[in-house]
Amino acid sequence: MAKYRVGIIGCGWVSGEHIRAYQNNPLTEVVALASSSMDSARKKAEEFGIGAKCFDSAEAMIEHTAPEVVSICSPPHLHVEHALCAIEGGAQLVMEKPAAMNHDELKPLVQSVRDHQTKSVVSFVLRWNPMFSLIRSFIDGGALGDLYYGEVDYYHGIGPWYKQFAWNVTRRSGGNSFLSAGCHAVDGLVWFMGARVSEVHAFAARSTAKEYETYEYEPTLIALCKFDDGRVGKVSSSIECKAPYMFPIRLFGSRGTIRDNQIFSETYPGQTGFATFPTIQPDSGDVTHHPFQGEIDHFVDCLERGVNSSVPIEYAAHIMEICYAAEQSARTGESVKLPL
Question: What pLDDT, on the 0 to 100 scale, is given for residue 164?
Answer: 86
Question: What pLDDT, on the 0 to 100 scale, is given for residue 1?
Answer: 65
Question: What pLDDT, on the 0 to 100 scale, is given for residue 75?
Answer: 96
Question: What pLDDT, on the 0 to 100 scale, is given for residue 111?
Answer: 98
Question: Is the separation of the CB atoms in 35 and 11 below 8 Å?
Answer: yes
Question: Is the separation of the CB atoms in 79 and 99 below 8 Å?
Answer: yes
Element (H, E) at 320: helix 313-332
All residue ranges of the chain with pLDDT < 70 are 1
d(CA 92, CA 96): 14
Residues near 154 by Cβ (< 8 Å), separated by ≥ 6? Answer: 181, 182, 184, 185, 236, 237, 238, 239, 247
Domains of the chain by residue range? 4-118, 127-286+318-337
d(CA 216, CA 156): 17
Given phi > 0 = left and psi -120 to 50 = alpha, else beta, which region is 81?
alpha
Question: Is the separation of the CB atoms in 271 and 231 below 8 Å?
Answer: no
CATH-assigned architecture of domain 127-286+318-337: 2-Layer Sandwich (3.30)
Q: How many CA atoms lie within 13 A of 20 on its CB side?
A: 14
Question: Is the separation of the CB atoms in 2 and 14 below 8 Å?
Answer: no
Question: What pLDDT, on the 0 to 100 scale, is given for residue 162?
Answer: 87
Question: What pLDDT, on the 0 to 100 scale, is given for residue 285?
Answer: 86
Question: Is the separation of the CB atoms in 33 and 55 below 8 Å?
Answer: yes
108 preceded by cis ω (within 30°)? no
Tell me, yes or no, if the pTM score tops 0.95: yes
Question: What pLDDT, on the 0 to 100 scale, is given for residue 286?
Answer: 82
CATH of the structural domain 4-118, one choice from 3.40.50.1240, 3.30.70.100, 3.40.50.720, 3.40.50.880: 3.40.50.720
